Structures are given as C-alpha cells and as structure tokens.
Copies of this chain bind each other. A is one copy, B any other.
Amino acid sequence: MEIQQPYLLFLGDARDTLAAKTAGGVAYWRPGVSVGQLRLPGCVVDLDLPDMTIAEGVAAGAKTLVIGVAVSGGAIPDEWSGLFRDALDAGLDIANGLHRRLVDLPGLTEAAAASGRRLIELRDPGTIAHVGSGLPRSGKRLLTVGTDASVGKMYTSLAIERELADRGVKCSFRATGQTGILIAGEGVPVDAVISDFISGSIEEICPANDADHWDVIEGQGSLFHPSFAGVSLGLLHGAQADALVMCHEPTRTHMRALPHQPLPSISDCIDANLAAARLTNDRVELVGFSINTSALSPGEGETFRKSIEDQFGLPAVDPVQTGVAPIVDRLVG
C-alpha cells in the first residue's frame, strides 16, 4: 500500500485534538509532508498548517487528501461527499482510515473513475497474499512489542527512527497500522490481512536490506491480548527482529477493552516475546523499555522508570519525556 505525498489534511469539524489525532500524528512526525489543512466550520483543532481549500491545496502541490479525523462510530457523514468529489475532480487521491468505506458514499466511485484518481482504504490490505517463510535475511530490524494494545508502540518506533536518522544511521520506519501508514506513505494494515499471510505481510514490508540498515517496525497488540495475540505473534515471526523494545503503560488495570483480563507481568511478557521471536532469529535481544508515564506525576514516572531499569538492567525511557537516546545507544553505540 503506497500513498502519494504531499498531503492536504482534512480535519472535518473536529471538536478536540483526539478526534484529529491521525492528522496530528502526520503533522508531528512528518512536518514537511502536508501542504496545508482543510477545516470545516466548527473545527476547533489547528495543526499550525496553512488553511486551504481544495483548489489551494492542489495549487500547493498536494497529491492526496487525507481524512485525518475520527468520527464517532467511524461513520463518514454523507454531507462530506460533495467535498470529496471536488477533491477527486481536482486531481487528488483520497486516503481514508475510517471504518466506513469511501465507495459507500454517494457518487465517489464514479468521480474517482472519471478523474482517474484512487480511493485508498487504509483498512484494506490490498493484494497481500504472501506466505511467510522465516528465511534469514540481511539488515537489522527493531520491533516494538507491548504488555497491551495502545501503549505507545507507534510513537516509540517513530522516535527511535528519528533518533537513528539524527545520528546519520540508515533507517526506515515500517508501518503496520492506519496512522503509521499515512505517516510513512506506505505499509501494511496487518490487522486487516488474511490470517494465513500475517508473517508474510511483514516480510514484504521490511525485506532484506544493507547490513547496517535498521528497519524500525511498528508493533501491534500484545501476545497477552486474547482478541489480537495472533496478529502480534505473526508480526514477531515476520519481523525477524534483532532488537525488541517493550512498551508499557503502568497505570493500566486490565487489558484494553477487556475488564476481566489481567495484565501480564512485565517479566512474563519479556520471556514470551523473546521465546517467540527466537523462532526466526535466535540472536534477538531486548534492548530497553518505553514507558508511557503520561498518567503519572513527573516524580512518579521517574521512580517507575528507575525501578524497571534496576530490575532488568536496561534503559527505560519515556519517549515524550526523556527521548529514546539510551535505547539507540544500545543499537549503534
């Protein structure tokens, strides 16, 4: 799945930053990739990009209109379809990460056909039909794993990629979810592929590379999440990782969305991830922890991170508070 850049970011009538977090992630991690933002009346989010109409976005070079706003229930209002038809007529592709599909909106299929532009559904795995082999391949790979879903794996991966790039190390962020794919401009929505092809889809997006090149792969879910662990395991096997970073949110009391399901211990989670990862790379190592301390006071956060460092003898960063330099030190010295 590839998305043409630069983007015009569509924010709809977003009422808070959370609703526009996909667009916010793109603007934060790829500052140069969006020519502007398109906001409807009532939108309270501002990404500090020039406000543009579709015509202005096209004139500024935009190739894709990105629907970067979450809508309650995932539904795209029918009222937006006129705007989207205008975008297609003006020569833009449209990339959509929401559950409602663009083809279900009135007139969009016809408008796309007439203009020769694409309706890109970020939840559609496209033509992925590659069975993973587990065959050794060259290059270095890091994968973020987690005690739970939604604990900061994408953010951590992007922070590590940025730190590697800042040090002049050859590296690529490899996206496995909707927002990550928009940020990278390519990737695979691994939770949407046919289950026979989970590991194969990951082998496809991070193929053999230079011996000193790092792929930083966005993890998904957790081996301990009963809804999605199969995705996490296939991702581990396809990644063939040299380095794992364990992501954790210390205030969570149960697995996300499942009040009956306890969190694993960090120690059990490390053991299970390393054991599974060794199936395709027996040199895999845990290189550190990424702790999302946003729900703790600064003092509590630091105390928690230090306790993890003392227990496991590895760096425990908060990518927002401390950066990820201590982890990258272990990768490239």
A interface residues with partner B (beta carbon < 8 Å) = 131-136, 190-196, 198-200, 223-224, 226-235, 237-238, 258, 260-261, 272, 275-276, 279-280
Q: A195-B190, A195-B193, A195-B198 are in contact. Are A132 and B279 (CB under 8 A)?
A: no
A158, chain B: closest CB distance, angstroms: 23
Instruction: State which of B133, B135, B230 has its C-beta within 8 Å of the C-beta of A234.
Output: B230
**A280 (CB) vs chain B CBs: closest residue:** B226
Q: A195-B195, A233-B233, A234-B195 are in contact. Are A200 and B227 (CB under 8 A)?
A: yes
Count identical subunits in the complex.
2
Q: List 27 A-B contacts (CB under 8 A).
A: A133-B226, A134-B226, A134-B258, A134-B261, A136-B260, A190-B195, A191-B194, A191-B196, A192-B194, A192-B195, A193-B195, A194-B194, A195-B195, A195-B231, A196-B227, A196-B231, A199-B228, A199-B229, A224-B279, A226-B237, A226-B279, A229-B237, A229-B276, A229-B279, A230-B235, A231-B234, A272-B275
**A196 (CB) vs chain B CBs: closest residue:** B191
Would B196 and A192 count as touching, CB distance under 8 A? yes
**A262 (CB) vs chain B CBs: closest residue:** B279
Pairs of residues from A and B, 10 with the lowest C-beta to C-beta distance, nearest first: A230-B234, A134-B226, A230-B230, A198-B230, A191-B196, A226-B237, A233-B233, A195-B195, A132-B227, A230-B233
A84, chain B: closest CB distance, angstroms: 25
Would B191 and A133 count as touching, CB distance under 8 A? no
Would B228 and A196 count as touching, CB distance under 8 A? yes
Would A199 and B227 count as touching, CB distance under 8 A? yes
A59, chain B: closest CB distance, angstroms: 40
Instruction: State which of B133, B191, B192, B224 has its C-beta within 8 Å of the C-beta of A227.
Output: B133
A163, chain B: closest CB distance, angstroms: 30
Contact partners of A228 in chain B: CB under 8 A: 131, 196, 199
A236, chain B: closest CB distance, angstroms: 9
Residue of A132, A230, A237 ringed by the most chain B CB atoms within 10 A: A230
Contact partners of A261 in chain B: CB under 8 A: 134
Tell me the complex Cα distance, A191–B135, Å: 21
Tell me the complex Cα distance, A163–B237, Å: 37
Tell me the complex Cα distance, A235–B229, Å: 10
Would A230 and B191 count as touching, CB distance under 8 A? no
Contact partners of A200 in chain B: CB under 8 A: 227
